[in-house]
Amino acid sequence: MRKAVGIGLLGLGTVGSGVAEALIAKSDSLAEQAGLRLVLKKVLVRHLHKRRPGKISQRLLTARAEEVLYHPEVDIVVELVGGEHPAKEYIENAIAAGKHVVTANKEVIAKHSYELFSLAKKHNVSIRYEASVGSGIPLVSPFQHDLAANRILAIRAILNGTTNYILTRMALEGRNFASTLKQAQELGYAEADPANDIEGIDAAYKLVILSNLAFGTRFAPEDVYCEGIGNIAARDFMYAHEFGYAIKLLAIAKRDDDKVEMRVHPVFIPKDFQLAKVDGVYNAIEVETDLAGKLLFYGEGAGGLRASSAVLADVLAIARNIRAGVNSVPELKLNPAITVKPMSEVKTRYYLRLNAPDRPGVLAQISRVLGDNSISIASVIQKESDPATQTAIIVIMTYPAQEKAMQKALRELRRLPEVNEISSFIRVEES
């Protein structure tokens, strides 16, 4: 019987260091869990001679990927370099060389899962990616195993800690987006280039990964309607509060027969909903199912230590299989009947904040435009008339309407002389 499994690590950044340190520090308990020893054989780094804290031996390091990918004693390649290229090629080469692969790479899995899983199947190796969504929160495995008997009806999730941190601070402190982002950057909760986070792209990658697991689809990031949080103003939180809502950036995938809507955008969500109570850098994933009802998985969605929990769970699963002499190649259960529901067909309620001249008849005109597009108003508040500029703020909550109708109404409202500006437009999620 095998006594050890060889691990090759690609990348020694935050997550890579966490994994390497844990492999060393937890060597005994991991061996007990796996039934054989997990031995780090080679580590790809960018700068070979950079000073590094921790216990990792200099002789394990290499700047050449091939020395990891084709190392004869490496059974499992752990890809933690991130980004699309060359990570994807590393994974392909590892698979082709007969290595099992563990990756935390959301971009590669969101964009290329199908071809990589097919390649893994062909070469009879495993590919696992628990850390690619929600970091240490178990998600991939629950979808593959624990929820296997369920039909997944919907996923609603806070998948990006940076934006949830910013929205939480804005809600608590009444500050605007720009200054809150700046503060988040100073505190290390947002990156210097925060576009991927605040525009919802990061969340969209993760939503694609979860949707493909949940619905047996082959969706891609471009299938997700995506809108960031940059346009939310401090006063939107005020009105949200008044109406009984929190504002969150949600990633939503909802099944309606054989169509799945996929979208990432800010939402108004009722304050007493569990997702509305998730604050700060935390992630939370709500899964609505036919048997298990609504489940919520909650935890920190980022950080090297957090991700190392998921990476090592994947490594352990493969090691246990190696020990048992069985192979768990990815199952490609595609449900080709399921397609993406176009955003124009999505139906929600809407929150609208408009700036309008403070004079009679304005509300009548706005109501007429909405009515002409079959959009009913649930409530309307006219606020804060400014005598100096003679403008008023009008806040509207609609009943559920189709996105197509709403977008047409918005175009018409913008053309209306009675409307100075549509200052804010946020969808409502209340199921």
Candidate ranges 30-38, 44-52, 360-368, 410-418; the one touching a second copy (CB under 8 A): 30-38
Residue 241 interacting with a second copy (CB under 8 A): no
Nearest approach in angstroms of CB 79 to a second copy is 18
Pairing of the two strands 4-10 and 76-79: parallel
As given in the structure block, the two tokens for residue 95 are 């698979």
Cα distance between the two ends of the chain: 53
Nearest approach in angstroms of CB 305 to a second copy is 5
Residue 270 interacting with a second copy (CB under 8 A): no
Nearest approach in angstroms of CB 164 to a second copy is 14
Which 329-368 positions form the footprint of a second copy (CB under 8 A)? 333
Beta-carbon count within 10 A of 70 CB:
17
User: What distance in Å separates the CA atoms of residue 42 and residue 8, rounded to the nearest whole number?
Assistant: 5
Residue 303 interacting with a second copy (CB under 8 A): yes
Residue 308 interacting with a second copy (CB under 8 A): yes
Residue pair 316/30 in contact (Cβ under 8 Å)? The answer is yes
User: What distance in Å separates the CA atoms of residue 325 and residue 318, rounded to the nearest whole number?
Assistant: 10
Residue 29 interacting with a second copy (CB under 8 A): yes
- Whichever of 300 and 358 has its CB closer to a second copy, that residue is 300
Residue 86 interacting with a second copy (CB under 8 A): no
Nearest approach in angstroms of CB 167 to a second copy is 16
Residue 151 interacting with a second copy (CB under 8 A): yes
User: Binding-site residue total for a second copy (CB under 8 A)?
Assistant: 52
Nearest approach in angstroms of CB 290 to a second copy is 8
* Closest to 12 (Cα-Cα) out of 84, 66, 68, 93: 68
- Give the CA radius of gyration of the chain: 24
In the shown chain, the binding pattern of residues 105 to 124 toward a second copy, with x for contact by CB under 8 A and - for none, equals --------------------
Residue 313 interacting with a second copy (CB under 8 A): yes
Q: Is 129 helix (H, G, I), strand (E, B) or coil?
A: coil
Nearest approach in angstroms of CB 133 to a second copy is 13
Does residue 3 have an active-site annotation? no
User: What distance in Å separates the CA atoms of residue 134 and residue 66, rounded to the nearest whole number?
Assistant: 30
Residue 202 makes CB contacts below 8 A (sequence gap 6+) with 106, 159, 160, 162, 196
Residue pair 236/415 in contact (Cβ under 8 Å)? The answer is no
Residue 22 interacting with a second copy (CB under 8 A): yes
- Whichever of 127 and 310 has its CB closer to a second copy, that residue is 310
The single-letter DSSP state of residue 426 is: E
Residue 326 makes CB contacts below 8 A (sequence gap 6+) with none
Pairing of the two strands 61-62 and 37-44: parallel
Q: What b/e readout covers 333-350, taking b as 16+ CB neighbours within 10 angstroms? A: eeeeebebbebeebebbb
Nearest approach in angstroms of CB 182 to a second copy is 25
Angle (CA) 399 405 408, round 5°: 125
Q: Return the residue of 48, 296, 332, 334 that touches a second copy, per CB under 8 A.
A: 296
Q: Could you say which of 106, 206, 254, 341 is catalytic? A: 206
In the shown chain, the binding pattern of residues 131 to 150 toward a second copy, with x for contact by CB under 8 A and - for none, equals ----xxxx--xx--xxxxxx
Residue 295 interacting with a second copy (CB under 8 A): yes
Candidate ranges 92-100, 184-192, 312-320, 337-345; the one touching a second copy (CB under 8 A): 312-320
User: What distance in Å separates the CA atoms of residue 219 and residue 215, rounded to the nearest whole number?
Assistant: 10
Residue with tokens 């304005």: 362
Residues in touch with a second copy (CB under 8 A): 18, 22, 26, 29-30, 32-33, 130, 135-138, 141-142, 145-151, 272, 274, 277-279, 289-300, 303, 305-306, 308-310, 312-313, 315-317, 324, 326, 333
Catalytic residue numbers, as ranges: 206
